[in-house]
Amino acid sequence: MKPVQIADGIYWVGGIDWRLRNFHGYLTQRGSSYNAYLIIDEKVTLVDSVKSYLTQDMLDRIASLVDVSKIDYLVANHVEMDHSGAIPEVAKLAPNMQIVCSPKGAEGLRMHYGELNYKVVKTGDSLNLGKRSLNFVQTPMVHWPDNMLSFCPEEKILFSNDAFGQHIATSERFDDELPVHIVMEEAAKYYANIVLPYGNQVKAALSAVSGFEIKTIAPSHGVIWRKHLPEILGSYTKWCTNETVSKAVVVYDTMWDSTAKMAGAVAEAFENCGILTTIVNPQDSHISDIMTSLLSARFVCVGSPTLNNNMLPSVAAFLTYLKGLAPKGRVGMAFGSYGWGGQSVALVEDELRKCGFDLMQSARFQYIPDGEKLAALTAQVEEEIKKFILPETV
């Protein structure tokens, strides 16, 4: 694939990771891309790079436009290796190149790649490239402490690095070249699985760029936003507040179907209250997809039978992942069946409490719940929902 011009003298020269299916445990069913951008001006500037194994792809794209040794600056908006992996090789080929990064970026890059020619910039600093310039905004924790954004005011392009990304491998480079629902679905999945713990930092980043006149957002993963900016900016504005809607996700695993029956009874209570409900089993749905379903869900109900005095490992894995991503403002409920010990429900509830969730009354049945018990469970959950229901429904 050739470089793709995104503005006069500015090109996408990144790498496409068609086979990637696992990114930190996140199922990337559409692969991903690592977007690097080349600005050809009096100072030739590369914004970000690629994972090391795609270095040659990127170098070939650059070489079709300009001699790699002529690169003056490499702007490293982020230390993580999916964007910095090619730095040692580019630094070797362009010995006079300066690596422009935040103070934390320089610390991190030194620990990854040793002493190179670093130029440290902070929020408010600007780099003159000739006809164009880059303004820098530090955005710590979106996604690591070192992150920053680079804005080119002359072209109105925001090089946003991880922010506004989507894990999509595609030969299309722009948001209007793919169905928008796919791009937004992947942007939501990316937010739910990577950015979710950092809502306050996203809020600060959105505020920092609110004064910029942005025509294009060029993230480091997925397609470039040139048409659907209102949708993605509006979604980030909503997601970063942890705003929820009256929606329920019922997550369960089961041994002999008793906890499955309970999941159905719990879901029925939400349906009776007019609340949109999704039932998922982590054996069938990847935990990263479950996170996408609950990005805006107010209710998260988790069920597990007791196995060896514990919950099922599939449910434990989901809860560990959920706790790490720390969604705020949720209501949780634990439920499950048991044969004798019956410890799973208290253990699930304890994890939901550690997530900071408000809790509805839990439910636990020995062996197989009959119709009467399931009806009672539905009635119990309906009563609990009323304590937490929001005025609006989906």
- Residues 110-169 interacting with ligand FEO (rule: CB under 6 A): 143-144, 162
Residue 222: name the closest of 258, 266, 189, 252 by CA.
189
Question: ∠ at Cα 19 (146, 12), nearest 5°?
Answer: 55
Nearest alpha-carbon partner for 46 in 62, 30, 31, 28: 62
The least CB distance from residue 6 to ligand FEO, in Å, is 19
Total residue count of the chain as it appears in this document: 394
In angstroms and rounded to an integer, the radius of gyration of the C-alpha atoms of the chain is 24
Catalytic annotation on 83? Answer: no
We find the least distance from the C-beta atom of residue 48 to ligand FEO, in angstroms, to be: 9
In 227-385, DSSP assigns E strands to 245-252, 276-280, 297-303, 331-338, 358-359, 363-366
Active-site pick, 143, 167, 228, 286: 143
181 is catalytic: no
Residue from 150, 220, 293, 362 touching ligand FEO (CB under 6 A): that is 220
When the beta carbons of 52 and 278 are compared against ligand FEO, the nearer one is 52
In the complex, what is the shortest distance from the CB of residue 41 to ligand FEO, in angstroms, rounded to a whole number?
Answer: 26
78 or 173: whose CB is closer to ligand FEO? 78
80 versus 268: smaller Cβ distance to ligand FEO: 80
User: Is residue 38 within 8 Å of 73, Cβ to Cβ?
Assistant: no
Pick 35 or 337: Cβ nearer ligand FEO: 35
Nearest 5°: CA angle at 109, between 105 and 114?
145
Is 331 in contact with 361 (CB distance < 8 Å)?
Answer: no
β-strand 331-338 against 10-12: which pairing, if any?
Answer: unpaired
Q: What DSSP designation does 106 have?
A: H
Instruction: Determine which residue in the list 61, 78, 189, 261 makes contact with ligand FEO, applying CB under 6 A.
Output: 78
Which one of the spans 77-85, 123-131, 229-237, 346-354 is the region binding ligand FEO (CB under 6 A)? 77-85
Tokens in use for 83?
A: 């964007």
Q: Which listed residue (41, 48, 57, 80) binds ligand FEO by CB under 6 A?
A: 80
Could you tell me how many residues of this chain bind ligand FEO (CB under 6 A)?
9
Q: Nearer to ligand FEO by C-beta: 72 or 80?
A: 80
Output the smallest distance, CB 84 to ligand FEO, in A. Answer: 9
Q: To the nearest whole angstrom, how small is the minimum distance from the Cβ of residue 221 to ligand FEO?
A: 6
43 binds ligand FEO (CB under 6 A): no
Q: Which of 30, 43, 61, 83 binds ligand FEO (CB under 6 A)?
A: 83
162 is catalytic: yes
Q: Which one from 72, 82, 146, 349 is the annotated catalytic residue?
A: 82
Is residue 328 within 8 A of residue 197, CB to CB? The reply is: no
Q: Catalytic: which of 83, 167, 221, 286?
A: 221
Active site residue 228: no
User: To the nearest 10°, the Cα dihedral for 265, 270, 271, 273?
Assistant: 130
Q: Which residues contact 45 (CB under 8 A, 6 or more apart)?
A: 38, 39, 71, 72, 73, 74, 75, 127, 129, 134
Phi and psi based region of residue 205 (left: phi greater than 0; alpha: psi -120 to 50; beta: remaining): alpha
Least distance in Å: CB of 196 to ligand FEO?
14
Q: Which two tokens stand for residue 363?
A: 């439910």
Question: Which one-letter DSSP state was computed for residue 50?
Answer: -
CA distance 230 to 251: 32
- Rule CB under 6 A: choose which of 17, 57, 72, 82 binds ligand FEO: 82
Nearer to ligand FEO, 113 or 388 (CB): 113
Burial (CB count <10 Å: 0-12, 13-18, 19+), residue 388:
middle
Q: How far is the CB of 168 from ligand FEO (least distance, A)?
A: 13
Only segment of 76-84, 102-110, 258-266, 323-331 that touches ligand FEO (CB under 6 A): 76-84
Binding site for ligand FEO (CB under 6 A): 78, 80, 82-83, 143-144, 162, 220-221
What residues act catalytically?
24, 78, 80, 82, 143, 162, 190, 221
